[in-house]
Amino acid sequence: MNTSEIRKLFPILHQEVNGHPLVYLDSGASSQRPISVIEAMKHYEEFDHSNVHRGVHTLGSRATEAYEGARAKVARFLNASSEEEIVFTRGTTTALNLVAGSYARSVCGEGDEIVITPMEHHANLIPWQQVAKATGATLKYIPLQEDGSISLDDVEKTVTDRTKVVSVTYVSNVLGLTNPIREIAAIAHRHGAVMVVDGAQSTPHMKVDVQELDCDFYAFSGHKMCGPTGIGALYGKKKLLNNMEPIEFGGEMIDFVDLQDSTWKDAPSRFEAGTPMIASAVGLGAAIDFLEQIGMDNIAAHDRKLALYAQNRLSEIEGITIYGPKENRTGLVTFNLDDVHPHDLSTVVDSLGIAIRAGHHCCQPLMRWLGVSSTARASFYLYNTEEDIDRLVSALLHTKEYFDHGLR
């Protein structure tokens, strides 16, 4: 990877913020978009915009071709066995809610179990809480090891023949660790449960093969992988999707409508009621083209290298605590600085042109497990460099000096 050349493709990075060159270290929340994605969406809006799956006129055909072409790209990107296994959604949150609200509510009952972990983003925790409350199922948690990881022995002890759903994040948005999804899926299937994967943080940073993972559902968002906001996808095994009831109803998802009853099309159409996010789907397809051109293995190696470099450099700072394992870290470092609230820390480094995240990262149960209310997080992507991390370290030393002086 030639990072300096890649950076040239991202217009937003070439600006000053608060009088300093921008260092963007918040890609875990939302990545930036290359010019190719911006131009693809612009071209669609200027020349091809129409509704899809409706008109037989030229613009309608172009729009439909672009929209379904993006679906084909997602299927290839995830190595799904069929384009019909890809449902476009607003993002990971919507996709996980679809699985919880449709599949899980239909299969769970009193005494059944849903298994997740304490490290889950709220989008992969609250929907399961709601399913448990509505159905009488029990929500169970795989315990965490001292470094925040999970052991397969604990998975074996937690998942039982009463378990209907196991849902785990592939990469933690706080700890940066990668969970052994394929092995967890094998355990889930051995007990007759389905495997759901929150892929929000994994899909931008590594090659994903849903068939190799043998997961039943996989959710991700476009805006974390150089695409636009408001678009993502749910992968689901075809048989499961076609046995699920829609949770949203309207045009285009129907097969036949009578005055008293209706029937549904097969997936994915049954889950895409109304006019979809056409321009955003075009942007997501362009983002996939961009990432594939660079190579997901190259991106994964680059992100791991930056995460290790950041961990080593930040460890040099006195009074810093870094959360998560030292090994197996992907694309981010979460930390706190003694006696400095993460929001104050983020404000000071922002004054120096550096964008990081501060807060509970939509992971309040994990924050309580770590014994903190919030943390700071620097997250990296293909356009970041070691020099960006050096700038962060310098800003943190400045922050430490500023607050130490204030305390005296």
CATH fold, domain 37-293, is Aspartate Aminotransferase; domain 2 (3.40.640)
Instruction: Please name the residue that has the structure tokens 């005296």.
Output: 408
Predicted confidence at residue 237, as pLDDT, reads 98
φ and ψ at 229, to 5 degrees?
-75, 165
Predicted confidence at residue 101, as pLDDT, reads 97
Mean pLDDT, the chain, integer: 96
How many other CB atoms are found less than 10 A from the CB of residue 56?
7
Task: Return the SS3 of 116.
Answer: strand
Task: Return the SS3 of 326.
Answer: coil
Predicted confidence at residue 255, as pLDDT, reads 92
Predicted confidence at residue 328, as pLDDT, reads 75
- The superfamily in CATH containing domain 295-407 is Aspartate Aminotransferase, domain 1 (3.90.1150.10)
Q: Which residues of the chain have pLDDT under 70?
A: 405-408
Q: For the chain, which residues make up each domain, given as ranges?
A: 37-293, 295-407
Q: Tokens for 252, please give them.
A: 């285009």
Task: Return the SS3 of 67.
Answer: helix
Peptide bond into 34 cis (omega under 30): no
Cα–Cα distance for residue pair 81/76, rounded to 1 Å? 8
Predicted confidence at residue 215, as pLDDT, reads 98
The H or E element that residue 263 is part of is strand 262-264
Which of 192, 193, 215, 190 is CA-nearest to residue 203? 215
The long-range contacts involving 277-280, CB below 8 angstroms and separated by at least 24 positions, are 277/88, 277/90, 277/230, 277/231, 278/44, 278/49, 278/51, 278/52, 278/63, 278/66, 278/67, 279/41, 279/44, 279/45, 279/49, 279/228, 280/41, 280/222, 280/227, 280/228, 280/229, 280/230, 280/231
How many other CB atoms are found less than 10 A from the CB of residue 369?
14
Predicted confidence at residue 295, as pLDDT, reads 98
One-character DSSP codes across 329-354: B-SEEEEEETTB-HHHHHHHHHHTTE
pTM of the model: 0.97
Kindly list the catalytic residues.
362
Query: How far does Cα 109 stand from its chain's mean position?
Result: 29
Predicted confidence at residue 405, as pLDDT, reads 61
